[in-house]
Amino acid sequence: MEGAVAYESDLNLKATELRLGLPGSNESEKQTLLSVKSNKRASPEMAEECRSKSNSSISDAGNDGREAAPAAKAQVVGWPPIRSYRKNSFQTRKKDEETTGIYVKVSMDGAPYLRKIDIKVYKGYPELLKALEEMFKFTIGKYSEREGYNGSEYEPTYEDKDGDWMLVGDVPWDMFMSSCKRMRIMKGSEARGLGCTV
């Protein structure tokens, strides 16, 4: 965590430190020690690792949890001093954000019914477009910024937060994920018009 970062940027004493343990064995040691009992501090020996001029006079006992944090993300019990009620409300929120998908309706011109997909499962445009191709049994052309999708009469479009219809692929993936409200695969001349308006 932050402690380790500050430590490394300071005097690079790591090169000359005395430790218990074989040279080269570092993070893994700390991890096993810390995983023994989450509530307890690591033993004082581990704390000898952290040495920075200004810290030298401060007791070792306090240093334990933080040094291994980059690897184990160990948190010191009681720190930061936030009420558990508040911490729990963050965690439930984060879990909500992580687990719920972003489901958007996808319509295709000429298809009798719409589909719904979770765009969160895709890592980028290529995966999304491939999935759409498979779902609706069609092919999408090649994307270029200047000309949109070339080589097919289908163009994937989406409605954004402002209610405008946009061509899929213009904005960065993350921005697309957060602004896409629904999708429509346009067909034919209408689609061509959209692709050429640049």
Alpha carbon distance 1, 107 (integer Å): 46
Binding segment for other proteins (CB under 8 A), chosen from 16-24, 81-89, 100-108, 121-129, is: 81-89
| Near other proteins in 50-69, by CB under 8 A | 54-55, 57-59, 61-62, 66
Does position 99 bind other proteins by CB under 8 A?
no
174 binds other proteins (CB under 8 A): no
Run of H or E residues at 156: strand 154-159
Question: 8-13 long-range contacts, Cβ below 8 Å, gap at least 24?
Answer: 10/52, 10/53, 11/52, 11/53, 13/51, 13/52
Total residues interacting with other proteins, rule: CB under 8 A: 32
Q: Does 164 bind other proteins (CB under 8 A)?
A: no
Tokens of 198: 């640049």
Residue 42 beta carbon to other proteins: minimum distance, rounded to whole angstroms: 12
Which residue's CB is nearer to other proteins, number 20 or number 77?
77
How many other C-beta atoms can be found within 10 angstroms of the C-beta atom of residue 22?
8
Measured from the Cβ of residue 197, the count of other Cβ atoms closer than 10 Å reads 8
Of 76 and 177, which CB lies nearer to other proteins in the complex structure?
Answer: 76
Cα R_g (the chain), whole angstroms: 27
One of 35, 43, 93, 165 touching other proteins (CB under 8 A): 93
Contact call for residue 76 and other proteins (CB under 8 A): yes
Q: Quote the CA–CA distance of 67 and 104 in Å, as a whole number.
A: 43
Exactly one of 3, 156, 169, 195 binds other proteins (CB under 8 A); that residue is 3
User: Do the Cβ atoms of 17 and 52 come closer than 8 Å?
Assistant: no
Does the protein bind other proteins through residue 101 (CB under 8 A)? no
Residues at the site binding other proteins, with contacts judged by CB under 8 A: 1-3, 5-6, 39, 41, 54-55, 57-59, 61-62, 66, 73, 75-87, 89-90, 93
